[in-house]
Amino acid sequence: MRAKLALLLLMLVGGAPEASAADVLNVGIAGDPGPLDPARSGIYLDRNIFASLCDKLIDTDPEMHFVPQLATSWEWSSDGLALTLHLRAGVAFQDGTTFDAEAVKVNIERDKTLATSLRKPELRPVSSVEVLDPLTVTLHLSVPDTPLLAFLADRSGMMLSPQSIAKLGDDVATHPVCAGPFSFTERVPQDRIVLDRFPGYWNAKAIAIDRIVFRPMPDSAVRLVNLQSGELQIVDQLAATDASVVKADPRLRLAQHGAAAYRTLQFNLDHGARSQTPLGKDVRVRKALEKALDRRALNDAVFEGLFIPNNQSELPASPYWNPGHPVPERDLTGARALLHEAGVDHVSFGLQLANTTIDAQIGEVVQAMAKEAGFDVKLEQLETNTGYAADLAGDFDAALLTWSGRADPDANLSIWMACVSPFNFGAYCNRKMDELLKEARETADPEKRIALYREISDLYLDDMPQIILFNTTWLWGLSERVEGFTPNRDGLIRPQGLRLRLK
């Protein structure tokens, strides 16, 4: 079946508009993106399209440090209630109109007020936008909010042409017009998204490719076949099991970078009937489950040892990672002792997973390891949207979830662990945690923030509302023709500096 699907997709890649092969970069992505409107975008896949289409106020470098993009510099007021951005001169949107402070105001206000905007929580602290002059804009805040910079380095900082907003309204996703290096040409759902080089781009000297064609291919094996055939020049989210195939092929190269993204087991602690279990109600049971797991063995078994075993929301290399809680070794004796102490020598629970091969493999390894400690894990594989609905309804015991990672530690934590947060499906709530998260958001001093986030990790590792298993490693398969590719911790393919050699 896979071979037939691969052949079909090989035939389909000829469907894009004609252009010289030397000028076209074909990228295989892991699925079909959502709406190409920064305000309404809600999935990771969208961000790779936006990386070529829409510049942001702020970008991040390969290690996720903030760097200038549409804003050349910025500074906070002494009370932390105002962020002033100094904008780049000579920038045009892809419709030829000028990017300026008024455009920033239009975009931020749209993100805050559009009924379907997913940016509202990110921009909630912004109370008003003040245009000081054409190249200077100040965001006034109701409370200090240091993580705002990270949101302006993502979709909240992507700027659409105000003219296109006025013309298309809520339909801007049908033809997004930004200030990035490539302009939108066409989209054929489930088949391709075509972008063409924008000659008026402010950093045009960094762009050497004329066209990028993004090809949705959910099956990683299909993406690999198309890379090997030469129909694709870059494969995004290469499966770890395919890394050795790429490395062994002299026509291909493997690129990789440790990711801020992580996988976690979230428990239902207080959300509906399925929380009324020993797993949901007794932290000793959850800690016993963690002791039963061997993160390193899981990494070796499923990911060829390429991923990063971890127990915290930050990478071990991050200053916010707490060295007082190293990644624990497996301890079956300790696991059985904790279950005995909790008065439940045998525990049965359901583990919700996405209906993917990788999630099935992770689930099977967790199931086998946990069984040795006295856990009976029932694997419940659900389609993504069905699983999300179940999570929202509290219809789960434990769920294997994914976070794509952000540049600020608050964004890697509060979405899961604040009492009221979008992905706290299990209704975990520790008021002390909320106080510390608030204090960390309102503090700009790096040393104070490090101390606060280490105190926060003390709390969640003691309460165990979830078990963080590992950080992923971004893996890309590259044709030998690709030059100038820079792996980034956020996993995005940036076109600046990319070149294609002739065949």
Q: Measure the N-to-C terminal CA separation of the chain; round to a whole number of Å.
A: 31
Q: Which helix (H) or strand (E) holds 355?
A: none
Answer yes or no: is 355 within a domain.
yes
* 354 and 447 share one domain: yes
| Three-class DSSP labels, 122-155 | HHCCEEEEEEEECCEEEEEECCCCCCHHHHHCCH
Question: Does residue 80 register a pLDDT over 90?
Answer: yes
Please give the structure tokens belonging to residue 27: 């990228």
pTM: predicted TM-score of the whole model, two decimal places: 0.88
Specify the pairing of strand 375-382 against strand 347-354.
parallel
State mean pLDDT over 59-72.
96
3-state SS class at 352: strand
pLDDT in tens, 438-469: 999 999 999 999 999 999 999 999 999 999 99
Query: What is the spatial distance between Cα 248 and Cα 240, in angstroms, rounded to a whole number?
Result: 14
Please give the structure tokens belonging to residue 129: 């936008």
Domain that holds residue 205: 2-233+481-500
* 73 and 194 share one domain: yes
* 331 and 370 share one domain: yes
Burial of 217 (0-12, 13-18, 19+ CB in 10 A): buried
Predicted confidence band of residue 14 (pLDDT cuts 50, 70, 90): very low
Please give the structure tokens belonging to residue 376: 């009976």
* 486 and 432 share one domain: no
Answer yes or no: is 371 within a domain.
yes
- What's the one-letter identity of residue 66? F
Higher-pLDDT residue of 46 and 8 is: 46
Answer yes or no: is 243 within a domain.
no
Query: What is the spatial distance between Cα 319 and Cα 210, in angstroms, rounded to a whole number?
Result: 40
Answer yes or no: is 18 within a domain.
yes
Predicted confidence band of residue 356 (pLDDT cuts 50, 70, 90): confident
Structural domains in the chain (count):
2
Question: Does residue 212 register a pLDDT over 70?
Answer: yes
Predicted confidence band of residue 26 (pLDDT cuts 50, 70, 90): very high
List the CATH number of the domain containing 124.
Answer: 3.40.190.10
* 112 and 144 share one domain: yes
Answer yes or no: is 238 within a domain.
no
Kindly state the DSSP code that residue 229 receives in the 8-state scheme: H
* 266 and 383 share one domain: yes
pLDDT in tens, 161-178: 999 999 999 899 999 999
Query: What is the spatial distance between Cα 399 and Cα 377, in angstroms, rounded to a whole number?
Result: 12
Answer yes or no: is 253 within a domain.
no
* 176 and 280 share one domain: no
Answer yes or no: is 486 within a domain.
yes
| Model pLDDT, residue 5 | 40
* 202 and 265 share one domain: no
* 92 and 208 share one domain: yes
Which single residue is written with the structure tokens 């990063």?
308
Question: Does residue 2 register a pLDDT over 80?
Answer: no
Question: Does residue 12 register a pLDDT over 80?
Answer: no
* 228 and 372 share one domain: no
Percent of the chain with pLDDT over 70: 96
* 137 and 168 share one domain: yes
Predicted confidence band of residue 126 (pLDDT cuts 50, 70, 90): very high
Predicted confidence band of residue 9 (pLDDT cuts 50, 70, 90): very low
State mean pLDDT over 250-268.
97
List the CATH number of the domain containing 355.
Answer: 3.10.105.10
Question: Does residue 10 register a pLDDT over 90?
Answer: no
| Model pLDDT, residue 6 | 41
Please give the structure tokens belonging to residue 207: 């762009």
Query: What is the spatial distance between Cα 232 and Cα 238, in angstroms, rounded to a whole number?
Result: 13
Answer yes or no: is 239 within a domain.
no
* Closest to 27 (Cα-Cα) out of 16, 37, 38, 11: 16
* 88 and 224 share one domain: yes
